[in-house]
Amino acid sequence: MTTEPATQAAPRAEGTPPSSSAAPVPGPAESRARARPAIVTVDDDPSVSRAVARDLRRQYGERYRIVRADSGPQALEALREMKLRGDRVAVLLADFRMPAMNGIEFLEQAMDLYPAARRVLLTAYADTTAAIDAINVVDLDHYLLKPWDPPQEKLYPVVDALLEAWVGTDHDTAAETRVVGHRWSARSYEVRDFLARNQVPYRWYLSEEPEGARLLAAAEASPDALPVVITPDGVTLTDPTDAELAGRVGLSTTPTEDFYDVVVIGGGPAGLGSAVYAASEGLRTVLVERMATGGQAGQSSRIENYLGFPDGVSGAQLTDRARRQAVKFGAEVLTTRDAVALEVNGPARTVRFDDGQEISAHAVVLATGVSYRQLAAPGVSEFTGRGVFYGSALTEAPSCSGQDVYIVGGANSAGQAAMHFARHARRVTLVVRGPSLEASMSHYLIQQIAAVDAITVRTCTEVVGVEGDGHLERITLRNSASGETETVDTHWLFVFIGAAPRTSWLDGVLHRDERGFVLAGPDLIVDGLRPSGWALDRDPYHLETSVPGVFVAGDARAESVKRVASAVGEGAMAIALVHRYLEKR
């Protein structure tokens, strides 16, 4: 087996020498080699592995590094190190039949590290059914039958096409975005979370470590003014706002037009579903998101009950595909735009933002979703972002290695987070206020949790206090049945305690229920009477609100089913109703 530069455990690029522990800084030759994107091949048969690497090196060795591994876990370790270095990966080729981890399982996990890399499965003729199934599971780009001789006919044309497609994607901004901050700085966490949720890869440096200090010195930035973000073009941003950060890392924040056919507010599954269907049907579409596409679903480590993904899919993967799909059809996607008002101006519907700007459209789809309720225990607000986090905060998972993690909540989002953090933490404790998980969590997830020894479920329990010196160090738990309290040591508390709709900005404009969820369609008809102010001679359409031409989809709608599939379906259905509204105005 060969060895990757800079590590003794992972594979190395073909033709490069092993590293020396006395030379931690890459030399000029190694730096030039790493500047080339990589083609990674994985096969447990040494002769096949060498043959694949040989054929790839002959054709692509001058432009790409060829990295080979003889197992999935070994290749994943290499990919993790390459990701930390900011290396780029263009193509992943994996053999299907490998012990411990087959090719499909490897590609599925590799997607989390390099979602833009093109994926190829090497398979025998008898395994073509598995290869076809992998098209849905890992969004497979191609499968190759072994043997692939002659490569000029069977291998190179396939790889040429994949490399051409990869080069056309936006993959090159990742390596140079760097963030320097303090471990327990709430704003440092918020910046990292913003970049991660917007699929903007970055490198994270602690200010007190040598490399972080060197970056601060090079940027002439004060260690007291954190976080510091160094953009790909070398611009230094000190404690930037989300809008400043978005503008510098290539995210769209300004609409290209003043008027659209449809404005979609919210970029979760419902909003993305609306944007895809609206744009694909020729409507001038803009999707407006206050932070990042995906919503709560985008923060899920694994969604296993979504149609078409029998082995599950991460929320980031699912929403990134949906976003790219919407953009492909021509939808604009704007981030860091917070809607604060909705107005009716004749046939136009106008959305105003917190900075005073506005956009108008014939129709509006409200897909604002929900946010997690705040934990009311004393001290929580002081430690938010410094040990207390709302949502899964996946960027923090590696930092929890070998430590105790507490998760508050009993619904699917809390269960998915527990399964994810159990891969890293020593012990994960689910703190559930109710007597069991059955009332709020899917059966499949309850079974999975029961099978993981590292996860403990404490029912009839709530967090009543948090303490620490500068960051979370202890929490106090109370058993509601016995009244007994217990203080436990932990640096990590993740909160999933119900949802409140993001609809306060619609107060006085739309009819909402007592909890703030938007009423629509039949729910607006009371004793056979249409809602007050309704001027049309028809009843509101199924997802139409009390303002004609304004529709609601997903979790923000009253009595909605809080599932990803139903949100996507409502988003698509809303566009069908938008068409009906536009035709009959």
Assigned token pair, 63:
């432009």
Question: Kind of pairing, strands 455-458 and 461-467?
Answer: unpaired
Name the least confident of 77-91, 140-154, 165-179, 533-547.
165-179
Tell which wins on pLDDT, 452 or 47. Answer: 452
Name the least confident of 166-170, 316-320, 506-510, 517-521.
166-170
Assigned token pair, 106:
């490897």
Those residues with Cβ within 8 angstroms of residue 337's Cβ, 6 or more apart along the chain or in another chain: 253, 288, 289, 290, 353
What CA dihedral angle connects 229, 234, 237 and 242, to 10 degrees? -70
Q: What is the mean pLDDT of the chain?
A: 87
| CATH fold of 178-241 | Glutaredoxin (3.40.30)
Query: In what helix (H) or strand (E) does residue 467 lie, and over which residues does it extend?
Result: strand 461-467
Architecture of domain 259-371+503-583: 3-Layer(bba) Sandwich (3.50)
Task: Provide the pLDDT for residue 13.
Answer: 47
Quick check: helix, strand or coil at residue 304?
coil
E strands, 496-576, are 499-501, 550-552
Task: Provide the pLDDT for residue 131.
Answer: 57
Place of tokens 């399982």: 105
Task: Provide the pLDDT for residue 16.
Answer: 37
Task: Provide the pLDDT for residue 85.
Answer: 67
Neighbours of 263 (CB within 10 A): 30
Task: Provide the pLDDT for residue 18.
Answer: 32
218-222 contact pairs (CB < 8 A, 24+):
221/180
State percent of the chain over pLDDT 90. Answer: 59
Average pLDDT over residues 406-420: 93
* pLDDT tier for residue 137 given thresholds of 50, 70 and 90: low
Task: Provide the pLDDT for residue 199.
Answer: 85
Average pLDDT over residues 169-174: 50
259-371+503-583 and 380-497: same fold? Answer: yes
Report DSSP state, residue 395.
Answer: G
Task: Provide the pLDDT for residue 28.
Answer: 42
Those residues with Cβ within 8 angstroms of residue 325's Cβ, 6 or more apart along the chain or in another chain: 276
Distances (CA, A) of 585 to 282, 473, 537, 560, 579: 19, 60, 11, 27, 10
- Per domain, the residue ranges of the chain are 28-167, 178-241, 259-371+503-583, 380-497
Assigned token pair, 321:
């595909």
Task: Provide the pLDDT for residue 116.
Answer: 86
Average pLDDT over residues 518-542: 94
Average pLDDT over residues 309-337: 91
5-8 contact pairs (CB < 8 A, 24+):
5/30, 5/33, 5/34, 6/81, 6/85, 7/78, 7/81
Average pLDDT over residues 242-257: 93
Task: Provide the pLDDT for residue 10.
Answer: 41
Cis before 99 (ω within 30):
no
Helix 412-421 crosses helix 443-450 at what angle (to 10 degrees)? 30
For 558-584, the pLDDT digits (tens) are 999 888 999 999 999 999 999 999 998
Cβ(540)–Cβ(524) below 8 Å: yes
For 61-96, the pLDDT digits (tens) are 999 999 999 899 999 989 888 875 668 899 999 988
Radius of gyration (C-alpha) of the chain in whole angstroms: 26
Cβ(414)–Cβ(430) below 8 Å: yes
Calpha distance 248→238 (Å, rounded): 13
The answer to whether residue 312 scores a pLDDT higher than 90 is: no
Calpha distance 89→73 (Å, rounded): 17
Calpha distance 294→392 (Å, rounded): 13
394 φψ region: left (φ > 0), alpha (ψ -120 to 50), beta (else): alpha
Architecture of domain 28-167: 3-Layer(aba) Sandwich (3.40)
Question: Kind of pairing, strands 348-353 and 339-345?
Answer: antiparallel
The full 3-state SS of 372-402, as one line of letters, equals: ECCCCCCCHHHHECCCEEECCCHHHHHHHCC
Task: Provide the pLDDT for residue 568.
Answer: 97
Task: Provide the pLDDT for residue 229.
Answer: 94
Spatial CA neighbour of 10 closest among 120, 87, 111 = 87
Calpha distance 230→253 (Å, rounded): 20
Neighbours of 319 (CB within 10 A): 27
The answer to whether residue 342 scores a pLDDT higher than 60 is: yes
Calpha distance 313→286 (Å, rounded): 26
Assigned token pair, 232:
């790909």
Task: Provide the pLDDT for residue 135.
Answer: 62
Report DSSP state, residue 531.
Answer: P
Q: How many residues does the chain have?
A: 585
Calpha distance 214→212 (Å, rounded): 5
Task: Provide the pLDDT for residue 323.
Answer: 94
Calpha distance 288→260 (Å, rounded): 12
* pLDDT tier for residue 225 given thresholds of 50, 70 and 90: confident
Match domain 380-497 to its CATH number in 3.50.50.60, 1.10.10.1590, 3.30.1360.230, 3.40.50.720: 3.50.50.60
Calpha distance 188→559 (Å, rounded): 37
The one-letter amino acid at 503: T
Task: Provide the pLDDT for residue 461.
Answer: 97
For 110-134, the pLDDT digits (tens) are 887 788 899 988 887 656 666 566 6
The answer to whether residue 333 scores a pLDDT higher than 70 is: yes
Name the least confident of 13-22, 192-201, 365-374.
13-22
Question: Kind of pairing, strands 474-479 and 461-467?
Answer: antiparallel
For 17-41, the pLDDT digits (tens) are 333 223 333 444 444 444 689 999 9
Assigned token pair, 215:
């970056």
Q: CA 511 from chain center: how many Å?
A: 32
DSSP assignment string, 127-176: GHHHHHHHHHHS---EEEESP--SHHHHTHHHHHHHHHHHHTSS-TTSTT
The answer to whether residue 50 scores a pLDDT higher than 80 is: yes
Tell which wins on pLDDT, 287 or 215. Answer: 287
The answer to whether residue 12 scores a pLDDT higher than 50 is: no
Cβ(463)–Cβ(377) below 8 Å: yes
State percent of the chain over pLDDT 70. Answer: 89
For 435-478, the pLDDT digits (tens) are 999 988 999 999 999 999 999 999 999 999 999 999 999 999 99
Calpha distance 555→269 (Å, rounded): 10
The answer to whether residue 331 scores a pLDDT higher than 70 is: yes
Task: Provide the pLDDT for residue 218.
Answer: 79
Which phi and psi angles does 451 have, rounded to 5°? Answer: -85, -5
* pLDDT tier for residue 354 given thresholds of 50, 70 and 90: very high
